[in-house]
Amino acid sequence: MSRHFACLLAVALLGGCASQPDGLPEERALRVEWIGERPLIDRSHLTITLGADGRAYGTAGCNHWFASYQLHGQHLRFAQPGSTRKLCAPALMEQEQRFLEALSQVERWDISPIEQIRLWPANGKPIRLWPERS
């Protein structure tokens, strides 16, 4: 992948290219739209923010989640995510579990032809995201 494409992806993913060694730009929240083959439950809100310090965090629909991550070119890996322990409706809890499991299986990212950010596991469908509206 060319450095130019990587910078464009960083702009789309995180809002800009930084001159830091990791190439990580400033933080920017991304809104999850699909987890694998299933869209989110109506009115549920899941987010991913990749911090410049190598820590990722967001909302998982019910609880807040957090994990360290590594980004090298198009390769992206999350450590096993942790989360707060609030109890919500069973359907939200199931979706949250699927999301956290899918997150821990991410191996790479790309941008779709419609400029949607996709986080791909080794097998299966991606987590699909859009930048949060300000």
Q: Please check whether residue 91 lies inside any domain of the structure.
A: yes
Cα separation, 129 vs 134, whole angstroms = 15
Residue 19 lies in a domain: no
Is residue 9, in this structure, part of any structural domain at all? no
Is 107 among the domain residues?
A: yes
Backbone angles phi, psi at 85, to 5 degrees: -125, 40
As a dihedral over the C-alpha atoms of residue 35, residue 47, residue 108, residue 70, rounded to 10 degrees, the angle is -140
Q: What is the residue type of 116?
A: Q
For residue 1, tell me if it sits in a domain. no
CA angle 102/11/71 to nearest 5° reads 45
Average pLDDT of the chain is: 83
- CATH number for the domain including 100? 2.40.128.270
Question: What is the spatial distance between Cα 24 and Cα 33, in angstroms, rounded to a whole number?
Answer: 23
* Total of domains in the chain: 1
**What stretches of the chain adopt beta strand conformation (E)?**
29-35, 38-39, 47-50, 55-59, 64-72, 75-78, 82-83, 106-111, 117-121, 127-131
pTM score, two decimals? 0.79
* 122 Cβ neighbours under 8 A, 6+ residues apart: 105, 107
Q: Is residue 81 part of a domain?
A: yes
| Residue 21 belongs to some domain of the structure | no
User: What is the model's pLDDT at position 111?
Assistant: 87
Range of the domain at 54: 27-131
99 within a domain of the structure (yes/no): yes
How confident is the model over 72-91, as pLDDT tens digits? 988 999 999 999 999 999 99
Percent above pLDDT 70 for the chain: 80
